[in-house]
Structure formats: C-alpha cells, structure tokens
Structure 1
Amino acid sequence: MAATRYRRFLKLCEEWPLDQTKKGRDLGSFIRQRVAQGFREGESTQYPRLRNTSFTGVTVEECRMVLATDNMKQIEEMKKGMWKKLREKFTGKPEDVPKECV
C-alpha cells in the first residue's frame, strides 16, 4: 500500500515542477516536504484536527442537519419563484385530482 502511494507521489513530483522564483513559499516544495515527512513517520501518521469545523466554520452536526432530505426539500421549495408556486397552486397536480373526477 505504501509503495503504491509513494510511486504516485513521485509521479506527482515529476509533473509538478518547483518554481525557483518562489523560494520558501513554493507549493510544490511544501508538498514534497510534507509528504516526505509523512513517509518517514510511517503509515500511522495522524494529523491532529485543530478545530471541529471546516473552512466554512460549520460543524459536522450543522452540515448533517442542513443536508438532511427534509431540509433540502424545504430549500428547494423556497427557491421556487412566485409564479411557479401560483401555477402549481391553481393548476393542481395529477396526484391532487380525485380519481372519480378523472
């Protein structure tokens, strides 16, 4: 497993050249250093989480709540325009029409 990851890392290094004009702040150089450090430490490398949020500042629980199916339906309903809501209200959907009327 580690050998495969290391080969992928070497391939990435070949495709991502170093930018000599950005000494000390080159992303390619930083990635090489961090990955090399991780391989030296072995498979059990764990990076501690400093915060319980993502870059948005939203916690995992808040993400789950927002992405729940019920909430997604409410959001979609809120996105509908006024004309579409009125049209749905007055035209009636086929499932809203009683069977004896059809």
Structure 2
Amino acid sequence: MSADSLRFATAVNCIDGRVQQPVIDFVRKKYDVEYVDMVTNAGAAAGLNEQILANVKVSVEAHQSAGIVVAAHEDCAGNPISDAAQKSQCIETANAL
C-alpha cells in the first residue's frame, strides 16, 4: 500500500509518553486521517531545530501530510513554562512551519 492511498497528518509533539495518544486522537479527528507522523522532541513547542524541520519535511513530502499540529502539555520537563506561554509558542512554531 503506497502513501498515496493512505491519509496522513503530522504532529510536532513533546517526547512525553503521556501525551502521545491524546495528540494522535486529536490529529486523526481534526484532519480525518488514519495515520499521524509523530515528530518528537523534549518541549518541542519551544522552537524548531534542524532535526524537527527535516522530519516534518519527510512527513509532508513522503506522506502528503493533510496538516500539521504543534502540541504542548502542562508540566513539561523539557519546557517548564506557563500554559499561556506554551500556547503562544505553539502558535509561533506552527506559523513558522
């Protein structure tokens, strides 16, 4: 089965295992896709690096990603800031993509 026959979306997300499934569920529903390519980094919403950008590029180009979500969560060890600040970072990072 080729990527062309499947529906993918991309999530830039923290590595924290507590948030993987909720983010997958949200992205699948938001974009009506079967699969979510997870691009993870500790505190990923804090900003983009070369590895995140390279992985997002692969997801978009190889899987024709239907959309990209940048996610954050409370009590993040990799990005220990307020929820409001994380929300701003998510928007800024999403706009940069």
Normalising by structure 2, we get a TM-score of 0.23
Judging by fraction of residues, say which structure has more strand: 2
**Greater Rg by CA:** 1
Q: Which has the higher contact order (CA 8 A, sep 6+)?
A: 2
Normalising by structure 1, we get a TM-score of 0.22
Judging by fraction of residues, say which structure has more helix: 1
